[in-house]
């Protein structure tokens, strides 16, 4: 049985364009692969807190001993890491806010990037400790940004997953969504075609 981890990061929830694209992909995958299990991690509404010093101390080992709150932080991190390790396929709904990824997604990654757990440093540089698996990112942009120096989300996503060992990261974009209805429909249709190709390749 295949298990999908779906990371939703739109502040519009299920109504966000990135969420709708990701959900359409997941539903089409389930239709082709009955019995597929989907684990949803809503990074906005179910919230992964942003880092503060106490959280960093729990996750990075800054403190010699952990208090109850820090133990809870570590337990959440362990659960997030296990969700990722248990997934055969990761689907990310990723809007772009102010040229970057949503801070909620960054907070999620801050809780899974743990030395000795998901990566380690070696004499030859960092080494990822998470087995490679497909990650499909459904990215929505209000304007046209792909390939521009200010669009940092693509590079960031590839870098962070690669850092922990996941290299099979591919994007389906819908751009120009806020320009006009015609441009929006054209972009979404292009994304639908690319979604079908992504499904066929799995």
Q: Summarize the annotated binding site as residue ranges.
A: 10, 96-99, 140-143
Q: How many CB atoms lie under 10 A from the CB of residue 88?
A: 14
The binding site for FMN consists of: 10, 96-99, 140-143
For 59, phi then psi, to 5°, come to -80, -30
Angle subtended at Cα 18 by Cα 75 and Cα 148, rounded to the nearest 5 degrees: 105
The pair of structure tokens assigned to 130 is: 């998470």
For tokens 């906005």, name the residue: 44
> Kind of pairing, strands 125-128 and 89-95?
unpaired
């Amino acid at each position: 049985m295949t298990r999908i981890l779906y990371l939703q990061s739109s502040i519009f929830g299920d109504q966000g364009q990135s969420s709708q694209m990701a959900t359409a992909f997941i539903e089409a995958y389930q239709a082709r692969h009955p019995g597929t299990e989907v684990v949803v991690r809503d990074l906005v509404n179910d919230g992964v807190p942003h880092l503060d010093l106490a959280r960093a101390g729990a996750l990075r080992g800054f403190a010699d001993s952990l208090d109850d709150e820090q133990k809870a932080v570590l337990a959440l991190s362990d659960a997030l890491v296990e969700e990722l390790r248990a997934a055969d396929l990761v689907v990310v709904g990723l809007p772009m806010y102010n040229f970057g990824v949503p801070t909620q997604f960054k907070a999620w990654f801050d809780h899974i990037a743990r030395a000795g757990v998901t990566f380690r440093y070696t004499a030859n540089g960092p080494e990822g400790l998470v087995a490679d698996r497909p990650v499909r990112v459904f990215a929505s942009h209000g304007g046209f940004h792909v390939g521009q120096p200010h669009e940092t989300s693509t590079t960031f996503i590839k870098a962070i997953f690669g850092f922990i060992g996941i290299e099979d990261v591919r994007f389906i974009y819908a751009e120009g969504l806020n320009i006009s209805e015609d441009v929006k429909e054209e972009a979404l249709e292009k994304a639908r075609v690319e979604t079908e190709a992504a499904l066929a390749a799995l």
